[in-house]
Amino acid sequence: MPRTARDVVFVDGVRTPFGKAGPKGMYAETRADDLIIKCIRELVRRHPELPVERIGEVAIAATTQIGDQGLTLGRTAGLLAGLPLSVPGYSIDRMCAGAMTAVTSVAGSVALGAVDIAVAGGVEHMGRHPMGEGVDPNPRIIAERLVDESALVMGQTAENLHDRFPQLTKERSDAYAAASQEKYAKALANGKIQPDLVPVATRNSLESQAGPGWGLATADEPPRPGTTIEALAALKTPFRVRGKVTAGNAAGLNDGATASLIAAEDVARELGLPVKMRLVSYAFAGVEPEVMGFGPIPATEKALANAGLTIDDIGLFELNEAFAVQVLALLDHYGIADDDPRVNPWGGAIAIGHPLASSGVRLMTQLAHHFEEHPEVRYGLVSMCVGLGMGGTVIWENPNHEEYGK
């Protein structure tokens, strides 16, 4: 029988507060799977109109699929979150774009009618599982010069991007980073961030600044309010002598989880679920691994072409700030100013943190809020660079726009 693809919508997204990785971080004694379980339970709690037996898939991403981030996390997390035994699940790894790939993967299932509603998200506990833990890269990757050695160190790839585009100076990166901190602080003060956060009960480690005992994570740990360009200029450049990448103009090492509800639009309307965004197109692209921060550019070009749009049609951008230089590269490519108000209106990962595989859904959740505040904007996009030389971009349509769906 001939089939017609169904429209796919973003119903809702939540996340844990993001923590600092390491023995002093607030999640040092918290399991990674417990973080994602908390997010799934919160989505179900927020939507009593959702019959949980209608959930057809749980896709959860993790970059380091080991220990409490392993064992087919989508299935185990769904079981532990109390979803019916009939709900299947699986795990995904596309490094930083894990949660983004979880969304696009289940979107295909929804569009084809295999699934009506799905949970998609990601988790990363970089304190328990540092990036690359337990992996054994084939020596041919380096020996046969398939990639430059620097491709395996993300900070070095950012330095390489500075080399390739000398107009992307350290001064511009520091100014962008300071602005990210300022925008996040303003959004937090205005109550924009808190509605997405799922409180998490924690047990403090012996090294915790709060001392041993129990706690409740209710706010992001990484932000550094009051950061100045002058302070950023004085930071060390750990990846290169007299380099340009610092701890201040890059995201840190973080712990956290995100989850979203993705559904067919007709099913969402039938059940009374909110429709916050409609999926328009998406694309992933590969680039030289040693300049992986360039990845969002070809990914965005592909996603725009697939949608029949141009960059001028995009009214809001949520760009993952793994490194300031990576965002600046995309902005420069499209002639967008460093301080364009359409870009990361509430700040980004430089302030909030970047628990690798979880970040894609954070970007989407924030874009959905921006759509609500800006009904005059029809299209927005989320984009991110991905380790080993990739980029990913997803374009969404605003249901609050007068031309929605036409």
Q: Which of 362, 372, 377, 280 is nearest to 321 (CA)?
A: 362
Q: Which of 259, 307, 261, 258 is nearest to 282 (CA)?
A: 307
Give the C-alpha separation, 287 to 293, whole Å.
9
- Which residue in the list 47, 354, 369, 370 is annotated as catalytic? 354
DSSP conformation class of 149 = G
- Which residue in the list 47, 96, 129, 370 is annotated as catalytic? 96
DSSP annotation string for 241-281? TT-S--SSSB---EEEEEEEEEEEHHHHHHHT----EEEEE
* Single-letter residue type at 297: I
To the query of whether residue 385 is one of the catalytic residues in this protein, the response is yes
To the query of whether residue 39 is one of the catalytic residues in this protein, the response is no
Rounded to 5°, the CA angle 217-222-226 comes to 120
CA dihedral 92, 94, 96, 102 (to 10 degrees): -40
Q: Which of 69, 71, 66, 68 is nearest to 134 (CA)?
A: 66
To the query of whether residue 401 is one of the catalytic residues in this protein, the response is no
Q: Which two tokens stand for residue 375?
A: 């009904």
- Which residue in the list 47, 369, 370, 385 is annotated as catalytic? 385
Give the C-alpha separation, 261 to 273, whole Å.
10
Give the residue numbers annotated as catalytic, written as ranges: 96, 354, 385
